[in-house]
Structure 1
């Protein structure tokens, strides 16, 4: 299901044995365009600490009741490494977090989540404590502090969108797939730069790059094509028919037509056979 990142903000995050706080921010990977962590504000029970929660820990989300359900206990969250939300998340921060929960690294593999297309994690596959360091997590996996690719969606909201022939609008939101935890689209508001402008969607893989210093997002599409793009109405759920029309308008292939299972249920079935 495609949902807006805005829907996650303020959601209650519930562990197996009780609530742990609310979603404060969402960190995404600007290389693979995936949601890598929820930043959870824990409130009084952990002295207002903020903790990283990976989609590996998420059992399911409940849009109707605005609750994110975890497969973790409150104690596991309490013992997790702290983070400084005023600074970008480094690979070392990630290593410490993944080590704590004994989760596999998502980097180094051919797919969005390492060896898999989804953040599927089976605790039965984990050895008893003390757990070994997961494969690919070690000193060789730690990037330079300057090589940062995790950013908050809050930070990028408002960035200018530059087409090949000039500015065309700004980022107003993000649309993600709540099975793969992939960011599928950026919401672009063109009304500030175009007379009679509108809000449209651009697929994440149509984004050529993000310039953190200039606070811009670039695409190889033209201003005119974006101006004529199908309008996006955030009050209406995004159906596949709209996605097909959007991709056909730009002459692009849809992410759903790539090789591999099209849904989490198909992925689970394929790994069980």
Structure 2
């Protein structure tokens, strides 16, 4: 959030939000605020279009031009993004939708977009060719900004609220929710994996997990000042009995 997006020929804006698929908690879109360049317009870019995040400069490089972004389909990011709208963006850039596969990557690891006119021409008059067999309704995309602040309920009581997320920069999966437990366990923050979720109530902003409060207290301690490395994840997964996603 807040990272600068660099196109091949200059800056295009900053990351304003992230949209994730609530079935597998994977980031599907970056919502980019173009600021004064496009009069406050926001555009969508898939994470597969991005290179490796550059933490030192807080920058993400994408293999598109400013003109391509400027002429990309308009999306109302304040409303639910439909599958057809997603298809329009993928079709415009000539990238394969994530529900059919992933974009072909260049040697640098970023997709090489087909010129927009080629993509439009190849799909002209065929919405089904763009959307494939996927439904056209709400594809269950959720906003990271919206979910921040949701309350987390353990099996035996409340434990706090979502303060932040830990993102796997390789797969763009949301691996953990950072939970502020100040009303229950003062001065502590803990990690909760989506693997433990029993139910998410998107209407009232609550998440129910199978974890107990004592179980969370005894889990490997999370220190926000320390990097969550593989050694920590191994201890965390072993403690909860979760399968190792990295194997």
Indicate if the aligned counterparts of 2:20 and 2:144 stay in contact, CA closer than 8 A.
Answer: yes
Structure 1 residue runs of 5 or longer lacking an equivalent are 1-8, 258-273
Which residue number corresponds to residue 93 of structure 2?
A: 101
Counterparts of 1:212 and 1:40 in 2: how far apart (Å)? 24
Correspondence for 1:54 among 46, 49, 62: 46
Does the alignment pair 1:137 with 2:130?
A: yes
Please state whether the residue corresponding to 2:86 is helix, strand or coil. Answer: helix
Counterparts of 2:235 and 2:82 in 1: how far apart (Å)? 38
Which residue number corresponds to residue 10 of structure 2?
A: 18
Which residue number corresponds to residue 66 of structure 2?
A: 74
Does the alignment pair 1:237 with 2:227?
A: yes
Indicate if the aligned counterparts of 1:41 and 1:50 stay in contact, CA closer than 8 A.
Answer: yes
> Relative contact order: is structure 1 or structure 2 higher (C-alpha 8 Å, sep ≥ 6)?
1
Please state whether the residue corresponding to 2:37 is helix, strand or coil. Answer: helix
Counterparts of 1:93 and 1:202 in 2: how far apart (Å)? 32
Counterparts of 1:14 and 1:35 in 2: how far apart (Å)? 19
> Does 245-254 or 134-143 show the bigger shift?
134-143
Task: Decide whether aligned partners of structure 1 residues 248 and 149 sit closer, same or farther in structure 2, where only a CA change above 3 A counts.
Answer: same
Does the alignment pair 1:164 with 2:160?
A: no
Indicate if the aligned counterparts of 1:91 and 1:143 stay in contact, CA closer than 8 A.
Answer: yes
Question: Could you tell me how far 1:13 is from its partner in structure 2?
Answer: 0.7
Question: Could you tell me how far 1:136 is from its partner in structure 2?
Answer: 6.5
Structure 2 residue runs of 5 or longer lacking an equivalent are none
Correspondence for 1:186 among 177, 180, 196: 177
Q: How much is the aligned-residue C-alpha RMSD, in angstroms?
A: 2.6
TM norm structure 2: 0.87
Task: Decide whether aligned partners of structure 1 residues 82 and 152 sit closer, same or farther in structure 2, where only a CA change above 3 A counts.
Answer: same
Question: Could you tell me how far 1:139 is from its partner in structure 2?
Answer: 6.7
Does the alignment pair 1:39 with 2:31?
A: yes
Question: Could you tell me how far 1:129 is from its partner in structure 2?
Answer: 4.4
Please state whether the residue corresponding to 2:51 is helix, strand or coil. Answer: strand
Task: Decide whether aligned partners of structure 1 residues 27 and 48 sit closer, same or farther in structure 2, where only a CA change above 3 A counts.
Answer: same
Which residue number corresponds to residue 77 of structure 2?
A: 85
Which residue number corresponds to residue 223 of structure 1?
A: 213
Does the alignment pair 1:151 with 2:139?
A: no
Counterparts of 1:62 and 1:172 in 2: how far apart (Å)? 23
> For 1:208-244, what per-residue CA distance to the aligned partner results, in whole angstroms no more than 9, with x for missing partners?
3321102011212222212322221122111111111
> Does 223-232 or 23-32 show the bigger shift?
223-232
Indicate if the aligned counterparts of 1:39 and 1:52 stay in contact, CA closer than 8 A.
Answer: yes
Does the alignment pair 1:174 with 2:162?
A: no
Indicate if the aligned counterparts of 1:22 and 1:41 stay in contact, CA closer than 8 A.
Answer: yes
Question: Could you tell me how far 1:191 is from its partner in structure 2?
Answer: 1.8
